Amino acid sequence: MDSERYRRGSEKLREIHGQAGEDALDSIGKIAPDLSRYVIEFAFGDVYSRGLLSLKERQIVTVSALAALGNAQPQLKVHIHGALNLGWTREEIVEIMIQMAVYAGFPAALNGISAAKEVFAERDAAGA
């Protein structure tokens, strides 16, 4: 796994999610190594590595999209952690979920708030 895309993707993954992101994809890789490689190469090596938007901007777009989907709670929580790692505040995350009520509906907004609450509690427990 030493392609340029894989290397670039691994660096972006680490920058956003730290060790937790690597651990998650390693776990996926034990069952579906190709899927893990696709995520690293395509999502992080190709898309997240593009230059027009900052990582911080890309992460909040991702949080918004996952919240709007309403059925991707595990991924939403991972990306809320990533958004906080990149400098978004808890208040901004909550505001995004409120915005979701307008365009994705109250269930999506409430699910997003629930995910954010869990992430905030995890970070509080870890002293972050």
pLDDT, tens digit, for every residue of 9-45? 999 999 998 888 888 888 888 999 999 999 999 999 9
pLDDT at residue number 23: 83
Quick count: other Cβ atoms within 10 Å of Cβ 128?
A: 11
Indicate the domain borders of the chain.
1-50, 52-128
Tokens 């509080």 appear where? Answer: 124
What CATH code is assigned to 52-128?
1.20.1290.10
Is residue 1 very low, low, confident or very high in pLDDT (cuts 50, 70, 90)?
A: low
Distances (CA, A) of 42 to 4, 56, 73, 118, 121: 11, 18, 22, 28, 31
Q: What integer pLDDT is reported at residue 29 of this predicted model?
A: 86
Q: Give the mean pLDDT of 38-60.
A: 93
pTM: 0.89
Per-residue confidence (pLDDT) for residue 109, from 0 to 100: 96
At 27 the pLDDT is 87
Could you read off the pLDDT of 58-101 as tens digits, one per residue? 999 999 999 999 899 999 999 999 999 999 999 999 999 999 99
Query: Does pLDDT of 128 surpass 80?
Result: no
Average pLDDT over residues 40-61: 93
